[in-house]
Amino acid sequence: MSRYKTTTPWEPATDRPELAAFDIEIQSADIIDTQTGHTYTGGAFRVISTLTGKGIRRGKGGTLPFYGETAWSDAERLAYDQMTIAKHAGYPARGTSWSNR
């Protein structure tokens, strides 16, 4: 059993047009610590592809979602890494002035 469980639906955590242009979104949810019963508002973050609705994992068997004090920075780093990979692969950005088109 996982120590943390989400208690609210996943919702967009930020409005980042530069990520949306590459179909990437950071989402957050409240969580509860199953050992202590403590609730953390916005305690979990994940990165999803808005094309598939599925989470993006980091590395082999990567972390999804991120929990704890570094959750936001871990999710943001993963999102921007994915955006950089997409840009270098020639994936065209939608509606941005710095698009690869």
Which of 14-18, 58-62, 94-98 comes out lowest in average pLDDT? 94-98
Mean residue pLDDT of the chain comes to 85
Buried b (16+ CB within 10 A) or exposed e, 41-52: eebbbbbbeeee
Query: pTM for this structure?
Result: 0.82
Calpha distance 44→71 (Å, rounded)? 6
- Mean of pLDDT values over 19-47: 94
98 — pLDDT class (breaks 50, 70, 90): very low
Both tokens of 33, joined, read 């610590």
